Amino acid sequence: MRGWKPAPHVLLLLPAFVVLAAVVVVPLLLSLYSSFTPFRLTRPETIYTFIGFRNYLRLFADQEFWVAFGRTVLLLTIALNLEMVLGLFLALLVEKATRGQRLLRTIMMFPMMFSPILVGFQFKFMFNDNIGLVNNALQSLGLTDRAIPWLIDSHLAFTSILIAEIWSSTSVFAIFILAGLMAMPKEPLEAAKVDGCTPLQSFRYVTWPFIMPFAYIAMTIRSLDIARAYDIVKIMTDGGPAKRTEILWTLISRTAYSDARMGLANAMAYVAIFLSILFTILFFRQLAKARQQIGAEW
Amino acid sequence: MATVSLKNLVKKYGSLEVVHAINLDVADREFVALVGPSGCGKSTTLRMIAGLEAISGGHIHIGDREVNNLPPRQRNISMVFQSYALYPHMTVAENMGFSLKIAGKSQDEIASAVADAAKTLGLEELLERRPSQLSGGQRQRVAMGRAIVRHPDVFLFDEPLSNLDAKLRMQMRTEIKKLHAKVQSTVIYVTHDQVEAMTLADRIVIMRDGHIEQVGPPEEVFRRPATRFVAGFIGSPTMNLHNALVSDGRLVFSNGDTLPLPGQFRDRVTAGQKVIFGLRPDDLYPTGHGIHSGEAAEVHAVEVPVSLTEPLGNETLVFAEFAGQDWISRMLNPKTLRAGDRINLSFDLSQSHLFDAKTEQSLRG
């Protein structure tokens, strides 16, 4: 090895580069490459067949994919908005508590402590049309006398998934907004009172602009979360019945592992990631704007 | 424009009473300063007047309205906060016009009111900036601008200059004084800085532990402090205050040193009475350095050793030992003194104060 003597800083950084290459760069490039092949897990040699953009072209014409794509965006939009509103109310309520606030904050985080798989099982049980709590309760209260097919009807199943998703993650919004509320200086609120604001006006003109950046952080995190949603849906409906609740990642995993069409699945995954990146950029822009507005020093 | 009157105003937090049935009448267009050490209840009192704190007892009148249970927005007051409390997401112009916007005024009205206030305060150049882009002094000016656009009945200031550096504080002090002369409204101003209170106020209210110790014009609280606390609080450097015993027409200090009993107190004390003797550093000076003309002065000179000096340029504070304690004296036209030097110290007893040791009330009639 005489003659090749790297500078000390290159030598010191090398291990990091090697690890990074091994666990991130190589798999990333490999998956990107495989999205340009008809790679099937059952026929390993297909990875050497380069077919250019054929997988992508096929996707763009694939209605099933776009339905799943659209459903994911719909889930994301509705869940984010509802979680935002509920989280805001929750945070405002908890912030008002003068005693036991610590305890309330801890309780508020309970849903986040369960694995999404377990949440999925729990809600699958609750929404079960025969033995589920929900139908049982509705029937006992005399609100209906038939078994509502929660997880079978396509709209109801979507709603059920939505409820499970919202239940498990509203606290993300609540925690961030509560952090914002607690970090908020109290004097501007008092100034607003003196300036003639009703409580509602104080919220609209002073509190809300201040907590907006915190809400955007929560939105960024949750949009990534939902864009890669898989576990709850996998457990509750597995995208079914008859693909009525198929979302991007259930479709991708089915394509990759059940159908063994890894090349096509990777192409889907890249489109899906593109969606995530888009949302992240969108929310970070909003965040930057909101931060600048309140003159935040973080 | 309006009067403000507090009657038996009480504030309790749970069972802890922090403001004890205070009474105060502020005249129309008067500038009143509430001053006292931290925790004396001055800010709480101001916040009760503003409506930001609920009152636990008594009455508050602004003008002829009882405002006890009115929310702040119905009291027609403006408040300037110590931390400025500007709305960080609004520009200077929006900050100043916010109350008018809430009141439903038209764009034109708001713009002209803001322009007027900006002109008064020299903020014309800054109207489009946000608070984060302003210096402390500018923020304070915006806070005042926000207060004056509405032409409220009463201005409330809560330690508005405490966050500024010393130089800026002096400058803003002058501006507040000018502003008051211009807008001619009732002002209640809370501060812990007695210099601010002395320079700005028509009347000073000195508070301590939730009680009012004395109310009076600056000159009066300085010249005739009603209690030992006021004597020690007002004036810089602080008044020399030392315990003594009245005996045989003299004041006897703990180590046996004596001073003649000042003439004005001769009929007001009895032999054996424990008192606190007070004398301002200005009235205790190395012989030949005093500011009094000497006529009618009751000067008593004692030779004492110097323990420390603090030269300030135009004057020197001399700490001299007498009666076993350090006394602060002010030397004008200073000459160099060293610790250990002996000087002839003049006590101007006609300017002295006596307080009863037990009640701490002034023994002056």
- Over residues B229-261, the pLDDT tens digits come to 999 999 889 999 999 999 988 999 998 899 999
pLDDT of residue B165: 85
pLDDT tens for each residue of A224-265: 888 888 888 888 888 778 788 888 898 889 888 888 888 899
Whether B63 shows a pLDDT value over 80: the answer reads: yes
pLDDT tens for each residue of A176-197: 999 999 888 888 999 999 998 9
Do the Cβ atoms of B53 and B47 come closer than 8 Å? yes
Choose the mutation target among A184, A189, A193, A194 for the interface with B, i.e. most B CBs under 10 Å.
A194
- Are B132 and A196 an interchain contact pair (Cβ–Cβ within 8 Å)? no
Domain A61-294 is found in CATH 1.10.3720.10: yes
Q: How confident is the model at residue B209 (pLDDT cuts 50, 70, 90)?
A: very high
Higher model confidence: residue A294 or residue B298?
B298
- Are A206 and B87 an interchain contact pair (Cβ–Cβ within 8 Å)? yes
Closest-approach residue (CA) in chain A for B155: A194
State percent of chain B over pLDDT 90.
61
**Same domain? B212 vs B296:** no
The complex's ipTM? 0.81
Q: What residues does B60 pair with on adjacent strands?
A: B6
**Same domain? B89 vs B213:** yes
Residues in chain B: 365
For residue B130, list chain A residues with Cβ-Cβ distance below 8 A: 293, 295
pLDDT tens for each residue of B325-334: 999 999 888 8
- Are A194 and B77 an interchain contact pair (Cβ–Cβ within 8 Å)? yes
Surface-to-core class of residue A7, CB atoms within 10 Å of its CB (0-12 exposed, 13-18 middle, 19+ buried): exposed
**Same domain? B268 vs B225:** no
State percent of chain B over pLDDT 70.
98
**Same domain? B220 vs B285:** no
**Same domain? B108 vs B190:** yes
Domain housing B283: 240-356
**Same domain? B170 vs B248:** no
Q: How confident is the model at residue B277 (pLDDT cuts 50, 70, 90)?
A: very high
Q: How confident is the model at residue A88 (pLDDT cuts 50, 70, 90)?
A: very high
- In chain B, the number of structural domains is 2
Average pLDDT over residues B91-116: 92
Backbone angles phi, psi at A244, to 5 degrees: -75, -20
Surface-to-core class of residue B53, CB atoms within 10 Å of its CB (0-12 exposed, 13-18 middle, 19+ buried): middle
Considering the domain boundaries, does residue B362 fall inside one? Answer: no
Distance CA B271, CA B218 (A): 33
- Out of B233, B253, B281, a domain closes at B233
Distance CA B344, CA B346 (A): 7
Report which residue type is found at B84: Y
Give B239-300 as a DSSP string: PEEEEEEEETTEEEETTS-EEEPPGGGTTT--TT-EEEEEE-GGGEEETT--SS--TT--EE
Considering the domain boundaries, does residue B82 fall inside one? Answer: yes
Whether A297 shows a pLDDT value over 70: the answer reads: no
Q: How confident is the model at residue A295 (pLDDT cuts 50, 70, 90)?
A: low
pLDDT tens for each residue of A91-105: 999 988 888 888 988
Residue partners of A291: CB distance under 8 A and separation at least 6 = A213, A298
Q: How confident is the model at residue B51 (pLDDT cuts 50, 70, 90)?
A: very high
Surface-to-core class of residue B25, CB atoms within 10 Å of its CB (0-12 exposed, 13-18 middle, 19+ buried): middle
Whether B26 shows a pLDDT value over 90: the answer reads: yes
**Same domain? B26 vs B134:** yes
For residue B71, list chain A residues with Cβ-Cβ distance below 8 A: 193
**Same domain? B105 vs B172:** yes
- Out of B209, B233, B257, a domain closes at B233
**Same domain? B171 vs B229:** yes
Do the Cβ atoms of A48 and A36 come closer than 8 Å? no
Backbone angles phi, psi at A137, to 5 degrees: -65, -45
DSSP element (H, E) containing B158 = strand B154-158
pLDDT of residue B299: 86
Average pLDDT over residues A158-169: 91
Do the Cβ atoms of B246 and B266 come closer than 8 Å? no
DSSP label at A48?
A: G
DSSP label at B188?
A: E
pLDDT of residue B276: 94
- Are B87 and A187 an interchain contact pair (Cβ–Cβ within 8 Å)? no
**Same domain? B256 vs B223:** no
- Are A295 and B88 an interchain contact pair (Cβ–Cβ within 8 Å)? yes
Among the residue ranges A79-83, A229-233, B48-52, B66-70, the one predicted with the least confidence is A229-233
Considering the domain boundaries, does residue B324 fall inside one? Answer: yes
Considering the domain boundaries, does residue B361 fall inside one? Answer: no
- Out of B184, B209, B233, a domain closes at B233
pLDDT tens for each residue of B186-196: 999 999 988 99
Q: Where are the domains of chain A?
A: 61-294
Instruction: Give the number of other Cβ atoms within 10 Å of residue B300's Cβ.
Output: 14
Sequence-ordered strand ranges (E) for A52-192: none
Whether A131 shows a pLDDT value over 90: the answer reads: no
CATH number of B161's domain: 3.40.50.300
Instruction: Give the number of other Cβ atoms within 10 Å of residue B119's Cβ.
Output: 11
Q: How confident is the model at residue B294 (pLDDT cuts 50, 70, 90)?
A: low
Q: What is the mean pLDDT of chain B?
A: 90
**Same domain? B341 vs B256:** yes
DSSP element (H, E) containing A77 = helix A63-96
How many beta-carbon contacts under 8 Å exist across A and B?
72
**Same domain? B200 vs B249:** no
- Are B102 and A195 an interchain contact pair (Cβ–Cβ within 8 Å)? yes
Considering the domain boundaries, does residue B195 fall inside one? Answer: yes
Instruction: State the distance between the two ends of chain B, measured CA to CA, in whole angstroms.
Output: 36
Average pLDDT over residues B121-134: 89
Choose the mutation target among B86, B91, B102, B153 for the interface with A, i.e. most A CBs under 10 Å.
B102
Instruction: State the distance between the two ends of chain A, measured CA to CA, in whole angstroms.
Output: 49
Residues in chain A: 298
pLDDT of residue B99: 92
> In the structure encoding, which two tokens stand for residue B15, read together?
């069972």
